[in-house]
Structure 1
Amino acid sequence: MQGHASHIPMDVPRLEIDPFSEEFLSDPFAYHPRLREIGPVFWLEAIGVYGVARHEEVTQVLKNHEVFVSSRGVGLADFSKEKPIRPPSLLLEADPPLHNRTRDVMNRIVAMPVLKGLEDEWRAKAKDLVAELIRKDEFDAVIDLAEELPMRVFPDAVGLMDEGRHHLLTYAAIVFNAFGPRNKIFEDGMADAAEASEWVAKACKRENLKEDGWGEAVYKSADRGDCTHAEAERLIRSLLSAGVDTTVNGVSNLMYAFTQFPDEWEKMGTDQSSTRRAFNEGLRWRSTVQTFFRTAAQDTTLANINIPEGSKVLTFLAAANRDEGRWENPNDFSVTRNASGHVGFGHGIHVCLGQMVARMEADALLSAMREKISRITAVGAPKIRLNNTLCSIESLPVKIEKIGE
């Protein structure tokens, strides 16, 4: 437990809800209304931290990176008091000026002109995948679709070695799982960690990267002195945790949304503005990342509540994205909604590095699907993959209707 309830001001509402229990993580959206209703800031007795679940306070915490810092860990552990179980991310768990330097390196590597150069290839691969799937009529929207396209395009873009690429699908889940407590969910996830982590460590070495990929480009930045070679290896590791999982879970959750609101599929066009709006709404409606922590670097106030230095604050991103004070009919999924302002990819200087990759992959996939498919219907209940941070679906059986049938 991070803090002691006896030190909490009397005007702060207290909740017994454990946001890392299996009950909560199995259906977090059932608990979010209570989190938003109880107040702008509350105290979570189960884990001894402050929490915020309304859009205004969540964005305030994420935006104010000088007061609510990331370098002390974006999980439950406070790196100023506890040794991290792995080297901290130079992007996600760093503050300026270090964060500015490392983020600038990666922003140049995964810049929009670079992505645009890959767009035609990614669209062609998305069309090939959709052509394979429509011959089946029924398939798993997670395994056969959401996981498949990223694995066909992302490892090649990074220049990863060919053997063992499947470990990417488990690596990010392991990383994000560690942001929570050392509970059963964490322990179960660590059962598969050793092999995947060993492969990733090997894959990030310069000698194992192909010459024309993003990974080698990071090392060339180190050659120029933009970062050290040791930092380059860690930056590639961060890219691997952000580059696949954002797309896999984003597309999985979007496909689930279409099965719950099937009429929305026909409202989505094949043009980029339409598919991008739909993906954005999917990120708002069912956020890939559910929560992130920050640590108060000084005594401060939030919504007129005193927050002492050293306090952990848990931001409920997914709850903020369904805040009735920010969105009209927030529990509805609508592809025509302007969902800009959502925090599904975070907010502020630590906004997800892999978001542009995820958006371009999703755009390619949705465009290819919409050209051939008139409707998506669930043929079985989704199987949820429990994770301390991610909203993740393990399996989603669907059937499709083809255009013209």
Structure 2
Amino acid sequence: MNTQALPSIDTDPFGHEALEDPAELHAALRDAGPVAYLSRYDVFALARYEEVHAALTGWQDFQSAAGVGLSNFRHEKPWRPPSLLLEADPPRHDAPRAVLSKVVGPRALRRLRESWLAAAEELVDRVVAEPEFDALPRLAEAFPLRIFPDAVGLGPDGRENLLPYGEFLFNSFGPPNDLVEKGRPDAGRLAAWVNEQCARDRLAPDGFGAQIWAAADRGDITHEQAPLVVRSLLSAGVDTTVHGLGAVLYAFATHPDQWERLRAEPGLARVAFDEAVRWQSPVQTFFRTALGDHEIGGTTIPDGRKILMFLGAANRDPRRWDDPDAFDLSRDPSGHVGFGMGLHQCVGQHVARLEAEALLTALARRVERIEIAGTPRRHHNNTLRAWESLPVRVALA
């Protein structure tokens, strides 16, 4: 493949400057054309909505089984057994996906709704008793870490390992840079702890994990697959939700008119969360690998070559969205690719939406005004767009 004819961009999407603020890079990639070439990593980049959407849904042409990171599992051994959902394609992907979709689907979540709403009320009442606080650890981290491990059926010990494990996992999808090296010394210990929690005897009898093992007893999946399906919940179910909640809290702290609208129409909580996921895209990038030679936007991607899909850039593509840089509750954000799209779309998105609905509903009831109270600090991760600190000031209703 002659990449000379393609627009070539040398900017490092995993460098600290781009991770701090990717807007300039995203605009350059979109303006470059349907496909650009990232010379630093020898990969093809897609940043426009149409091409990203097509690659996400075209699993027959662009596989996940060779890894959704820069590392190519056709040639390199992954650092842990590949995910049966994220890093697998049909038919291997089908049974685990069907089981997990049922376990964490909307019907299954109805029984958790009241308890999660009550937990959000209790947390918000306690936190907003102080007029100023850091919303990232006190709300965005605290709420998922309180309710989700319980829902999975984890024991009380070691839950502090969940966020660092997810942090390393999402960093590992990028190149082996300083962010990966920083987490590497603890990676083995964290992975071992997570794997231990996936065993049947470690899980409470009424949680998501036990239901996955029950599916293995029924023959829906194998007993060898069951712990890997449980692991997929722990791998992707915490960090992404934390940073989605961080995104929506930041959105409202910087858009007081939209906060007023949510307070007037609390039923917009889920729309608000999806719009924040579109606007901030907590999951910024994913890779796929060409399965055979395939054309995108007039460019042939040769078999075995990696494409890097910029979800965050697609979610602000002016070809798809009116006024894409605005956070706007009057917009219909459905169709955003912040949860992926197609066969591999985030299976836990309903969980995240319910968590967000619970937290935002509780906040809207208690807080008349929320605003930034200091300088927010970004947290750099090769895959996630995240906050390290989000100091806010609230005025109670």
User: What TM-score does the superposition give when structure 1 sets the normalisation length?
Assistant: 0.96
1:386-401 to structure 2, matched below 5 A, reads 386-401=380-395
Q: Does 1:300 align with 2:284?
A: no
Q: What percentage of aligned pairs have identical amino acids?
A: 48
SS of aligned partner of 1:230: coil
Q: Distance in 2 between matches of 1:92 and 1:149?
A: 25
Question: 2:355 is matched with which residue?
Answer: 361
1:45-124 to structure 2, matched below 5 A, reads 45-124=39-118
Residue 199 (structure 1) shift: 1.8
Question: 1:3 is matched with which residue?
Answer: none
1:146-295 to structure 2, matched below 5 A, reads 146-269=140-263, 273-295=267-289
SS of aligned partner of 1:40: coil
Question: 1:382 is matched with which residue?
Answer: 376
SS of aligned partner of 2:225: helix
Report if aligned partners of 2:266, 2:364 keep a CA contact under 8 Å in 1. Answer: no
Counterpart of 1:132, as a letter, is: R
Structure 2 unmatched ranges of 5 or more: none
Structure 1 unmatched ranges of 5 or more: 1-6
Q: Distance in 1 between matches of 2:171 and 2:348?
A: 18
| Cα-to-partner distance string for 1:313-349 (whole Å, 9 max, x where unaligned) | 0000000000011111111111221111100111111
- Which of 129, 139, 154 is 2:133 aligned to? 139
| Cα-to-partner distance string for 1:35-65 (whole Å, 9 max, x where unaligned) | 1101110100010000000000000100100
Q: 1:33 to 1:270 in 2, by over 3 A?
A: same
Question: 1:331 is matched with which residue?
Answer: 325
Counterpart of 1:47, as a letter, is: Y
Residue 267 (structure 1) shift: 1.3
Residue 9 (structure 1) shift: 4.1
Residue 263 (structure 1) shift: 2.3
Q: Distance in 2 between matches of 1:172 and 1:32?
A: 25
Counterpart of 2:369, as a letter, is: R
| Cα-to-partner distance string for 1:54-86 (whole Å, 9 max, x where unaligned) | 000000100100000100110001111111111
Report if aligned partners of 1:384, 1:392 keep a CA contact under 8 Å in 2. Answer: yes
Q: 1:131 to 1:103 in 2, by over 3 A?
A: same
* Alignment root-mean-square deviation, CA: 1.2
1:32-43 to structure 2, matched below 5 A, reads 32-43=26-37
SS of aligned partner of 1:229: coil
Q: Distance in 1 between matches of 2:224 and 2:265?
A: 42
Q: Distance in 2 between matches of 1:246 and 1:279?
A: 13
User: What TM-score does the superposition give when structure 2 sets the normalisation length?
Assistant: 0.97
| Cα-to-partner distance string for 1:192-227 (whole Å, 9 max, x where unaligned) | 424322221211111111111111111111111111
